[in-house]
Each structure stands twice: as C-alpha cells, then as structure tokens.
C-alpha cells in the first residue's frame, strides 16, 4: 500500500514518515480510527514504508523487491491477524489468509462486515481467539529475515477475546527483537486498558468531506455535485460511501432488469424473455436473489401507490416514473400471487435451483398474472 493511494489523512502520513526519518519507530502502535477512515490502509502503508529498500522522502518506492512483495501482501516479514468465524477448519487468520489478501487488495477500506460477507459468515461471531497468540509467536519465530523488522498488523484488535488479549499483552511486555506490532482498531474502549497503555497511540480522524469528495470524483467517476452529496451522507466514512454507490448501482440495474422482464412477459415475447434470462443467468446467484427482493419491493410499492397513501411510497425518482405506469397492472386480484411466486422463487434460489428454469417459469407466471384484468374497486 503506497501512501499516495490512501485518501487524504495528510497529517497522519507526515507523522508516520517523520517517525521513520527520525529513527523513532515504536515497537507497538495503536492505529485508532473510525470505520472508513483508512486506519488499516495507513498501517499497511506504514509497514511497507518501513520495509522499503529505496525510501522516497514522502512514500515507498513501489518497485524495490520489498515493495513488489508488499504490493501483493506476500512479504515474508509481514503478518496479519484479524477476526475469523471459528470452525473446525478455521482456527486462526492463517487458515483464511488467501481470502484476506484478495479482500484487502480489492478494497483497503474493507469493513468487518465486508470481510465476513466474503467469508460467507455474516451471521457468525467475529473473534480473534486464543489460538491466534500461539500463531503470532510461531510466525515471529520464523527465521526468514528479509527486512529489518518483522511486522505484525492486528486488524480489528478489539475483537480479541480475553484470553487472546492477555497473551498478546505478555508478548508486548517482552517484545521480540526487531518486531513491530501495529494494532488497528475502531473503538478503544473495547481494548484492554493494559494493552492501550503499552502502545503508542496514533489517533486517526474521520476523513474530511473535501478529501472524500475528491476521491469519489477521481476514483469512482462521480460528478462533483453527486460526490459532494455522497460525501455529506457518508460523513467521513469511505466504506459507507462505497456501500451507498453500490446500492445506487444495484437499484439502477435492478430497475432496468425488472422493466425488461415485465415488457417481455406482458405479451410474452419469447426473444425478449430469453435475452433477459441470459442476462440474469450471467449475474450470479447473489445478484439474482437481490433481484427477486427488488421485484418484491417494486410490486409492493406499486400496490401502495394504487390503494394507499402516495406519501408512503419509498422509491427513487426513476423508480417513481416507472411505477406510475406499471402500478395499474398490480391489483387486488393478482398481488398475492405475485408475492407468492417471487417468495417461492427466492426460496428455491437459496436451495440452488437452476436459475434458467426458475426465471423462465417466473416469466410464464408473470405473463398470466399481468393479464388478469383489474376488477373495479368497490367505493
């Protein structure tokens, strides 16, 4: 991780650079910063800088043999510890290291939630367990020195359970020679006091609106106006901004896909239906489940617009335009079956049904349901 690839946080970067040029690198440091501030990215950038063989005044070189390994997180003297979902096969960070590398390289602003999504463990408890401390000692005793320091980055250090924290404390009290511990943490009060007092605190503020806006324009291609709005909503949390962008993109894709399906199934146009199925089939199972939920949402909101209070309708501007035209097709005589068919589709999707067959079936059903005439409402 190069400092220049980390958004904003100029004062922190300068402080870290100075600690290296002054030769005052403390053996245990606590990178304390809120979610989306870049605390993990900064710790990793700092580790890379310390190990870089051709340090520039303001950044790592990016090309020396150490940097090349750091760029892929495969330097033998760089170690990570992070929460995992404990199971028979997963006891420590080492057991899921390839996944962590991939996740961090894809998004250095990764949140604990993102990470557990990638582990398919959203509902499990995130913990750094006691076996991890044995693993830390084992890693630090490996003899392959390539760099001056061995660096151990402990991400989400507040997730250490009591036993793990106590063992880490012992290690910090008698630190192995030429070893750095960089603890990365979002909430200090969940960490053992004694650990906090053994570390040098690097307090990272949330990102400024200006830095966040710039990043959204440069890296995500948002217009200045949209970026400013998004930065305000995300409140200095880059991870939150990424999530919001993702949701917006998903909603736009889902809406386009829903419109296509409805058009093709209203008069059952086989070519249109097949083209749509190919598109949806290529999207992958999570997106398909997401689409079914989206369809449920649009149908529910159409019903509310038809019979309820329009102020209760929860839709974006594009969605509203569409739903105004679409809602007459949703009424008392077909709403229940629409919901029922979609819920059934979701149920089968979760049990690995064949997506092509399932969506073909859905298109036939929709053709039938969309053509049920609306009864006059009794006033």
**Cβ proximity to Zn ion, 48 vs 133, nearer residue:** 48
| Residue number with CB closer to Zn ion (54 or 87) | 54
Task: Give how many residues touch Zn ion by CB under 5 A.
Answer: 6
51 contacts 74 by C-beta, under 8 angstroms? no
Closest CB to Zn ion among residues 37, 60:
60
Q: With respect to Zn ion, which residue has the nearer C-beta, 149 or 346?
A: 149
What's the CA angle centered on 152, arms 146 and 156, to 5 degrees? 155
Min. distance of Cβ 53 from Zn ion in angstroms? 5
| Opening angle at CA 70, ends 60 and 156, nearest 5 | 105
Query: What DSSP letter does each residue of 248-301 carry, written as one string?
Result: HHHHHHHHHHHHHHHHHHHTT-HHHHHHHHHHHHHT-HHHHHHHHHHHHHHHHH
Give 52 or 369: the residue with its C-beta nearer to Zn ion: 52
Minimum CB–partner distance for residue 8 and Zn ion (Å): 23
Piece in contact with Zn ion (CB under 5 A), picked from 44-52, 106-114, 138-146, 198-206: 44-52
* CA dist., res. 47 & res. 76, Å (int): 13
Q: Tokens 């329009």 identify what position?
A: 310
- The DSSP output letter for 206 is P
Determine, following the binding rule CB under 5 A, whether residue 61 of this chain makes contact with Zn ion. yes
Instruction: Tell me the residue ranges of DSSP E strands in 191-235.
Output: 200-203
Give me 332's structure tokens. 């008392």
- DSSP annotation of 208: P
Instruction: Check: CB of residue 117 under 8 Å from CB of residue 106.
Output: no
Smallest separation (angstroms) from Zn ion to the CB of 52: 3
- The answer to whether 316 and 324 have CB atoms below 8 angstroms apart is no
Between 70 and 238, name the residue whose CB sits nearer to Zn ion.
70
Is there a contact between 94 and 100 (Cβ–Cβ < 8 Å)?
A: no
Instruction: Among 37, 39, 60, 334, indicate the residue that binds Zn ion (CB under 5 A).
Output: 60
Residue with smaller CB distance to Zn ion, 54 or 197: 54
Residue with tokens 């974006």: 316
Piece of the chain touching Zn ion by CB under 5 A; list 61-69, 198-206, 301-309, 350-358: 61-69
352: left (phi over 0), alpha (psi -120 to 50) or beta: left
Stretch that binds Zn ion, among 58-66, 132-140, 190-198, 369-377 (CB under 5 A): 58-66
Closest to Zn ion by CB, 60 or 254? 60
Query: How many whole angstroms separate alpha carbon 230 and alpha carbon 232?
Result: 5
Residue 60 beta carbon to Zn ion: minimum distance, rounded to whole angstroms? 5
- Report the 10 Å Cβ neighbour count for 361: 16
Minimum gap (Å) between residue 70 Cβ and Zn ion: 8
52 binds Zn ion (CB under 5 A): yes
Tell the residue number behind the tokens 């909603």, with chain if given: 251
Q: What are phi and psi of 75, to 5 degrees?
A: -65, 130
Nearest distance from C-beta of residue 104 to Zn ion, angstroms: 19
Return the number of the residue (20 or 335) whose C-beta is nearest Zn ion: 20
Structure tokens at 302: 């159409």
**Quick one: 44 or 334, whose CB is closer to Zn ion?**
44
Q: Write out the binding residues for Zn ion, residues 283-342 only, by CB under 5 A.
A: none
- Binding span for Zn ion by CB under 5 A among 11-19, 60-68, 124-132, 197-205: 60-68
Per CB under 5 A, the segment of 56-64, 120-128, 294-302, 315-323 that binds Zn ion is 56-64
Least distance from C-beta 48 to Zn ion, angstroms? 7
- Residue 67 near Zn ion by CB under 5 A: yes
CB of 49 to Zn ion, least distance (A): 8
Strand intervals (E) in the chain: 28-32, 78-81, 150-155, 179-185, 200-203
Interface with Zn ion by CB under 5 A: which range of 49-57, 89-97, 114-122, 132-140?
A: 49-57
* Lookup: tokens for 358: 């399932």
Decide: 70 and 60 in contact? Cβ < 8 Å. Answer: yes
Q: Determine the interface stretch with Zn ion among 22-30, 63-71, 289-297, 357-365 (rule: CB under 5 A).
A: 63-71
- Count of beta carbons in the 10 Å neighbourhood of residue 270: 9
State the residues that interact with Zn ion by CB under 5 A: 52, 54, 60-61, 64, 67
């Amino acid at each position: 991780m190069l400092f220049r690839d980390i958004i904003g946080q100029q004062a922190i970067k300068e402080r870290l650079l100075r600690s290296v040029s002054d030769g005052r690198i403390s053996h245990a440091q606590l990178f304390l910063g809120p979610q989306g501030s870049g605390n993990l990215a900064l710790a990793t950038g700092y580790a890379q800088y310390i190990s870089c063989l051709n340090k520039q005044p303001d950044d790592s070189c990016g090309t020396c043999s150490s940097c090349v390994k750091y760029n892929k997180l495969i330097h033998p003297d760089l170690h990570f510890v992070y929460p995992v979902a404990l199971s028979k096969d997963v006891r420590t960070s080492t057991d899921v290291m390839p996944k962590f590398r991939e996740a961090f390289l894809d998004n250095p602003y990764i949140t604990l939630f993102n990470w557990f999504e990638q582990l398919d463990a959203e509902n499990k408890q995130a913990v750094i367990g006691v076996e991890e401390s044995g693993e830390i000692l084992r890693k630090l005793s490996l003899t392959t020195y390539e760099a001056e320091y061995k660096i151990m980055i402990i991400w989400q250090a507040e997730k250490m359970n009591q036993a793990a924290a106590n063992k880490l404390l012992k290690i910090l009290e008698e630190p192995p020679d030429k070893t750095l511990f960089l603890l990365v943490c979002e909430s200090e009060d969940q960490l053992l006091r004694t650990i906090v007092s053994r570390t040098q605190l690097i307090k990272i503020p949330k990102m400024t609106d200006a830095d966040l806006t710039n990043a959204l324009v440069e890296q995500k291609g948002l217009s200045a106006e949209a970026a400013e709005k998004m930065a305000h909503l995300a409140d200095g949390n880059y991870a939150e901004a990424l999530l919001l962008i993702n949701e917006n993109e998903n909603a736009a894709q889902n809406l386009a896909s829903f419109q296509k399906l409805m058009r093709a199934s209203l008069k059952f146009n086989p070519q249109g239906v097949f083209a749509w199925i190919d598109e949806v089939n290529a999207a992958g199972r999570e997106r398909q489940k997401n689409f079914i939920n989206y369809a449920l949402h649009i149908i529910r909101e159409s019903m509310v617009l038809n019979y309820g209070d329009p102020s209760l309708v929860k839709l974006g501007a594009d969605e509203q335009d569409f739903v105004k035209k679409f809602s007459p097709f949703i009424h008392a005589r077909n709403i229940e079956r629409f919901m029922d068919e979609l819920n059934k589709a979701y149920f089968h999707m979760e049990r690995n049904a064949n997506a092509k067959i399932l969506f073909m079936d859905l298109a036939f059903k929709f053709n039938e349901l969309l053509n049920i005439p609306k009864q006059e409402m009794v006033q």
